Amino acid sequence: MSTPDDVWRGWAPGVRVVVRRRRDDVPDGALPARAGGEPRFTDVLGDLLAVDDDGVLVRTRNGDVHVPAAAISLAKTVPPAPPRRDRTGG
């Protein structure tokens, strides 16, 4: 995977992306996740709405998420979401 700087800055709105971001709510001295602490990273998956020097804006299932440029660790485009299945069981 390429470094974030040469990937996400070239994206066009409308593509589906996943962005791994550093969490800003985990203190630097916290235990790593493998030792029972909180994970230092989280993924944002959805449709890209905007990209600029400040970061990216992604529409997820739970709403729009702005990921600041400084928090982006990895980034890539992904295939479109599969169609949602009917939950009526019929």
Domain boundaries of the chain, sorted by first residue: 4-77
Give the pLDDT confidence score for residue 5 in this predicted structure.
Answer: 62
Interior/surface letters 61-83, b for 16+ CB within 10 angstroms, e for the rest: eeeebebeeebbebbeeeeeeee
Each residue's pLDDT tens digit, 7-35 = 899 999 999 999 999 887 777 777 666 66
Q: Read off the pTM.
A: 0.79
Q: Which residues contact 68 (CB under 8 A, 6 or more apart)?
A: 21, 54, 55
